[in-house]
Amino acid sequence: MAKKKITLEEAVVNDISYEIPKNWLMIKLGYLGKWGSGGTPSRIHPEYYEGKIPWIKTGELNNGYIYDAEENITEDAINNSSAKIFKKDSVLIAMYGATIGKVAILGIDATTNQACAAIECNEGVIDNKFMFYYLLSQKENFIELGKGGAQPNISQMIIKEYKCPVPPLKEQQRIVNKIESLFEKLDKANELIEEAREDFEKRKSAVVYKIINKFGNKKIKLKKCIRFITDKKEPVDGDVYIGLENMGKSIGIISYSMAENVKSTKTKFDKGDILYGRLRPYLDKHDVADRSGICSTDILVMRANEKFEARYIDYILGTLELIRYANENSLGINLPRVSAKVLGEYEILDIEFDKQKIVVEILNKIFEDEDKIEKLTQLEEQVELIKKSILTKAFRGKLGTNCEDDESVLELLKERLNT
């Protein structure tokens, strides 16, 4: 059967909502490379997962390069499933669930599951790093496009129809170089912010233990002090919702959301319950709820028994010793999670209830005027906003790198469409 000829009119988008330089084209993503997605070999055959071919899942997309995988599969696994090998330098984007819009560049040849879309970029037309940064810049738009179903997702068709501003190749490379130069400076700023945060957290952790140790040194397992709440609820309009995004690193709950757009079953919590972010426990996200609601299943809900003060336990959850324990006992490489069972085995200092209340009052007084963590979090947020602004300017030709003498990609695109 003869290959269908693709016209330039099909590829180029003329109806655009913002201005781009004259020698740029707005082109549908589907025409900028070879797109595909992977598959999951049957788990009924465990031998399929005993090979040496990297198999990438969306949770491993890290907004950077991928050089290895959590799991590896065999040739037989590929031959008996829809999994396929994508070449090194292919760009990946997540299509399903909470990972929608996450991207990565393959630093190796690898296979993926069906939730990953991959593009092998047309050489000479689109630079793979340019594609990577453009997809990264569009994450929020892809999330919006994925809403509406029981589980948010976007399809390859949606991605292929999505428009992309395409400058001349030389300009693409200048844009990538400028983005990486600016991001490098911002990443260094983030490193300094993180160093300051770690210094404060070490001092805070030391203060917590110093105060508690004045009242005794007997220990008890956490599971004997609390009860893990696992009651589930389908979200309805009016429900208060807390996701991990509503909790700040080391500062607890920073906002509440309403459940209008929340999908799938969530965990119930009551006022006074302790909420603990089990995903990436090094982020130190925990707090005592000041109202009832529902929360992400990546948040553990704990209810202190009658002999323990919730805020006392919450202070212990933020100590470096517990954070280290949770990190070391988490499962998963890119998305590490600590289980309730593991967390329950951690030993905390067991002091009398009235002494716990004294400890909490002392620590509240010590930290009530301490707003350093909040300020550091605000700085981190500002860095992320600056990055978003850089990407927006980059893909509108406003980074100061554009040269009008560069030849448009028009002629190259004409050649590529039917080769």
Where is pLDDT greater, at 51 or 374?
A: 51
Q: What is the pLDDT of residue 413?
A: 67
Query: pLDDT tens digit string along 78-92?
Result: 999 999 999 999 999
> Average pLDDT of 138-158?
86
* Domain boundary assignment for the chain: 8-166+408-418, 217-350
Q: For the chain, give the secondary structure using H, E and C.
A: CCCCCCCHHHHECCCCCCCCCCCCEEEEHHHCEEEEECCCCCCCCHHHHCCCEEEECHHHCCCCEECCCCEEECHHHHHCCCCCEECCCCEEEECEHHHCCCEEEECCCEEECCCEEEEEECCCCCCHHHHHHHHHHCHHHHHHHCCCCCCCECCHHHHHHCEEEECCHHHHHHHHHHHHHHHHHHHHHHHHHHHHHHHHHHHHHHHHHHHHHCCCCCEEEHHHCEEEECCEECCCCCCEEECHHHEECCCEECCCEEHHHCCCCEEEECCCCEEEECECHHHCCEEECCCCEEECCCEEEEEECCCCCHHHHHHHHCCHHHHHHHHHCCECCCCCECCHHHHHCCEEECCCHHHHHHHHHHHHHHHCCCCHHHHHHHHHHHHHHHHHHHHHHHCCCCCCCCCCCCCCCHHHHHHHHCC
Q: What is the pLDDT of residue 207?
A: 83
State pTM to two decimals.
0.69
CATH class of 217-350: alpha beta
Please state, for a pLDDT cut of 70, what percent of the chain lies above it.
Answer: 92
Highest mean pLDDT among 143-157, 169-183, 203-217, 402-416: 169-183
Identical fold for domains 8-166+408-418 and 217-350, yes or no, is: yes
Decide: 207 and 261 in contact? Cβ < 8 Å. Answer: no
CATH number listed for the domain at residues 8-166+408-418: 3.90.220.20
Query: pLDDT tens digit string along 226-278?
Result: 999 999 988 888 889 999 989 988 888 988 888 777 778 899 999 999 999 99
Q: Which burial class, exposed, middle or buried, applies to 92 when counting CB atoms under 10 A from its CB (0-12, 13-18, 19+)?
A: buried
- Average pLDDT, rounded, for the chain: 88
